Amino acid sequence: MKKDTSDFSYHTSVLLHESIDGLRIKPDGIYVDATFGGGGHSREILKQLNESGRLIGFDQDEDAKRNAPDDERFTLVQANFSELKRFLRLHDANLVDGILADLGVSSWQFDTAERGFSFRFEGPLDMRMNRGAEKTAADVLNEYSAEELQKMLSEYGEVRNSKTLAVAIVDGRAQKEYETIADFLSVCEANRIGERHKYLAQVFQAVRMEVNEELGVLREFLLQSGKVLKSGGRLAVITFHSLEDRLVKNFMKNGGFEDEPEKDFFGNFEKRFKLITKKPMEASDKEQKENSRSRSAKLRVAEKI
Ligand SMILES: C[S@@+](CC[C@H](N)C(=O)[O-])C[C@H]1O[C@@H](n2cnc3c(N)ncnc32)[C@H](O)[C@@H]1O
């Protein structure tokens, strides 16, 4: 029944045991891995489920399909996790016992030149996790106004000279539209301040977050998670960016995305989650040494009341 299709070169899972322990898996429960990727977290969940348990994986990237375990208890949904509720209903799983999300891109996506996520390789300016989506990185760079670009660079990438770079991007495309990573790198390099790797990583991260609307879909996912989790069900989220972590923290603590609790018309606050991690968990020194991607990872876990 269970064929192990592990492909560790696709992606090394981050905070694997900490996140799975956080879910406190019931062997006959229904679980969701909202970011299936290489399937490392999913395989751990399956190990803890008995014959009646179920796992529904989501990934918007069709490349993830190759990692799907051949296991009757597992279903892979190729969709954005912002459509969690609708797809769970479609798969007869209106309420679930636990949900895990390990945000961002996989190493596979990042290291595949033609996906256009990394400044280390030449390739098209793509950066879409879902290659069926309309908006590519080239569209953002060729069509956004200088104000929109500046906002994106400063909010998502904390790029210190966001205005200078935004104006330079707009000026640059007047000569020739951006098509390739090399096209974009030349304007970034000409306006770079500080250390090269850090600067480019911030700029590319900002564009990627915009292309994939990462904060918007995360908000939608969190709201829907609150609706589909059973009472006592757990939500575990691994983030890699301070804005994502803030959304997750506020949602778990306050039921909304602001620093203050969401109150009803009468000023009452109904607590929807019990915090399991008061402070976010981080990868051990050993994991951080072995997998540099884990260095910025933060895990938060909460239980639906
Ligand atoms: C960091 S990787 C997950 C790795 C996985 N936990 C593992 O152990 O192999 C994130 C994956 O989630 C997918 N993903 C990211 N955001 C998504 C979204 N909004 N909806 C669906 N899939 C998403 C990406 O395509 C990528 O494959």
Kindly report, residue by residue over 53-79, the tens digit of the pLDDT: 999 999 999 999 999 999 999 999 999
From 193, 211, 229, the end of a domain falls on 211
Whether 286 contacts 225, CB under 8 Å: no
Are 85 and 228 contained in the same domain?
A: yes
- pLDDT tens for each residue of 127-149: 999 999 999 999 999 999 999 99
Distance between Cα 65 and ligand 1 center (Å) = 12
Is residue 113, in this structure, part of any structural domain at all?
no
Are 85 and 220 contained in the same domain?
A: yes
From 180, 195, 211, the end of a domain falls on 211
- Would the pLDDT of 261 be above 60? yes
Is residue 154, in this structure, part of any structural domain at all?
yes
- Would the pLDDT of 101 be above 60? yes
Is residue 272, in this structure, part of any structural domain at all?
yes
Q: How many CA atoms lie within 13 A of 6 on its CB side?
A: 9
The fraction of the chain above a pLDDT of 70, given in percent, is 97
- Would the pLDDT of 190 be above 50? yes
Are 143 and 285 contained in the same domain?
A: no
Distance between Cα 107 and ligand 1 center (Å) = 10
Most informative mutation of 106, 107, 291, 292 for ligand 1 (most atoms within 8 A of CB): 106
Q: What is the pLDDT of residue 269?
A: 81
Q: Give residues (CB < 6 A) around ligand 1.
A: 11, 13, 35, 37-41, 58-61, 64, 80-82, 102, 104-106, 129, 217
- pLDDT tens for each residue of 196-224: 999 999 999 999 999 999 999 999 999 99
Among 17, 28, 206, 55, smallest CA distance to 117 is for 206
Are 227 and 292 contained in the same domain?
A: yes
The CATH number covering residue 33 comes to 3.40.50.150
Is residue 115, in this structure, part of any structural domain at all?
no
Are 207 and 82 contained in the same domain?
A: no
Buried residues in 158-188 as b, exposed as e (16+ CB within 10 A): ebebbeebbbbbbebbeeeebeebebbbebb
Q: Tokens 């020739």 label which residue?
A: 176
The CATH number covering residue 151 comes to 1.10.150.170
Which of the residue ranges 110-119, 237-246, 257-266 would you say has the lowest mean pLDDT?
257-266
* Ramachandran angles phi, psi of 142, nearest 5°: -90, -20
The domain in which residue 154 lies consists of 134-211
User: Which has more pLDDT, 34 or 255?
Assistant: 34
How many domains in the chain? 2
- Would the pLDDT of 32 be above 60? yes
Distance between Cα 192 and ligand 1 center (Å) = 30
Are 161 and 102 contained in the same domain?
A: no
Q: What is the pLDDT of residue 97?
A: 98
pLDDT bucket at 4, cuts 50 / 70 / 90: very low
Are 228 and 175 contained in the same domain?
A: no
